[in-house]
Amino acid sequence: MNIKALRLYISLMENLTLARACEELHTSQPAASRLLRILEDQLGEPLFQRTRKRLVPTPAAEVFLPEAIRILKSIDNIPEIFAQNRSKAARPLRILCLPRIVNALVVPAVSELSHLDCALRFKIDVCPRRDFGRRLVYGNYDIGVSSLPLPLGTMQAEVLARAALHVMLPADHPLAKRQCLDLSDLMTVPYVALDEHTVVRQAVDQALARSGTTLEATHEVSTSEVASQMVRDGMGFTFVDPASVWPVMARDVAVVPWSIPASFEIGYVLSQSPHAHSARAAFIEKLKHICVQRYPVS
């Protein structure tokens, strides 16, 4: 089976456009089209339905994805296996996490663990949610920490905490001193919304639907970091998990409870490797301890 064709197929499953996949793999579109035809011929099944702008995965493509990831993971791990065999040094605990979780949970847990055992080594990889599932399976990590549900439904996650969403405003905004904000308070303030594919946006929209109300987005961005920066610069408000607010922004923004309950879960998923890192269980205990402090059960 052609390895380049497998990489192209996995990239297409994520990007759904040939142009983006070609850019990611540094190849031309004609060459990519040939690779895709080769793979489809080998499998005896069409993997995508072609439209003018996008590629739509067929049922066969969805079924084949976990196996394709497993094949490439096995191949790409070969150099690491030999490197570990040559090296006497203990391998690092490999952690994959989302940007909003790294400062709130992962770095504090790693710091506490390091104080207990200074010989421990860590590899922390921060990636956007859209890449999380593929990177976790394909990247040979020991543990992934993410908002839930996980991007790949086949993964079984353990829940760590439920994060209640609050309203973030500039620190000098007239509403910043309020104890709680109603939807009516926000109607005249520009809404910096995350896009509809994010967990935060979905939690907010579901909460609004339950209350029979709506909130029109003024601006729309793909990450909480960008939304927070726009709020800090006076462009409106957004919804955030208070524990995820970057320390450098804490003085410039205010986080106020919202009267409509909206929340999402945070959890972790373990790799399927039979050789679990010796520090993984201790890292999980640190995560749980930090969650108890930062996400109290109401």
CB 102 within 8 A of CB 96: no
Chain segment 220-233, per-residue pLDDT in tens = 998 888 999 999 99
State the first-to-last Cα distance of the chain, in angstroms, to the nearest integer: 53
Residue 82: inside a domain: no
Q: How far apart are CA 153 and CA 224, in angstroms?
A: 23
Q: How far apart are CA 196 and CA 186, in angstroms?
A: 20
Helices of type H across the chain: 3-15, 18-25, 29-43, 59-76, 78-86, 99-101, 107-116, 129-138, 183-186, 199-211, 224-232, 280-294
Residue 84 lies in a domain: no
The answer as to whether 81 is a domain residue is: no
> 186: phi > 0 → left, psi -120 to 50 → alpha, else beta; which?
alpha
**Residue 292 clears pLDDT 70, i.e. is over it:** yes
43 and 105 co-located in one domain? no
Regarding whether 280 and 235 lie in a shared domain, the answer is no
Give me the number of domains the chain comprises: 3
188-198 tens-digit pLDDT: 999 999 999 88
Report the chain's mean pLDDT, rounded to a whole number: 88
Tell whether 138 and 279 lie within a shared domain: yes
Q: Which residues of 92-101 are buried (b: 16+ CB within 10 A; e: fewer)?
A: ebbbbbbebb
Sign of the torsion angle spanned by Cα atoms 145, 148, 154, 157: positive
93 neighbors 123 (Cβ within 8 angstroms): yes
Q: How many helices (H) and strands (E) does the chain have?
A: 12, 12
| 281/157 same-domain check | yes
**274 in any annotated domain:** yes
CATH number at residue 289: 3.40.190.10
131 secondary structure, DSSP code: H
Q: Any idea what DSSP says for residue 149? A: S
Q: Is the bond leading into 149 cis (omega within 30 degrees of zero)?
A: yes
List pLDDT tens digits, range 117-175: 999 999 999 988 878 877 777 767 899 999 988 766 566 899 999 999 999 999 999 99
Query: Which residues does residue 255 pair with via DSSP β-bridges, in sequence order?
Result: 168
Lowest-pLDDT choice from 58-62, 89-93, 263-267: 89-93
Percent of the chain with pLDDT over 90: 53
- Average pLDDT, integer, range 5-24: 87
Chosen domain end from 76, 104, 130: 76
What six digits make up the tokens of 266? 């945070």
Same domain for 274 and 144, yes or no, is yes
Structure tokens, 44:
């005896």
> What are the tokens at 263?
């929340």
In this structure, the answer to whether residues 24 and 66 fall within a common structural domain is yes
238 domain residue, yes or no: yes
Query: Same domain for 172 and 248?
Result: yes
Closest CA to 111 of 292, 294, 287, 232: 287
Both 256 and 269 in one domain: the answer is: no
- What range defines the domain where residue 195 resides? 166-261
> What's the whole-model pTM score?
0.70
List C-alpha distances in Å: 63 to 43, 54, 57, 221, 254. 12, 19, 10, 32, 46
- 122 and 139: one domain? yes
Q: Is residue 245 part of a domain?
A: yes
Torsion of CA 188, 189, 195, 201, to 10 degrees: -80
Same domain, yes or no, for 217 and 184? yes
- In this predicted model, what pLDDT tens digit does every residue of 23-56 receive, in sequence order? 888 899 999 999 999 998 988 989 988 877 678 8
DSSP string over 153-212: TTS--EEEEEEEPEEEEETTSTTTT-S-B-HHHHTTS-BEEEPTTSHHHHHHHHHHHHHT
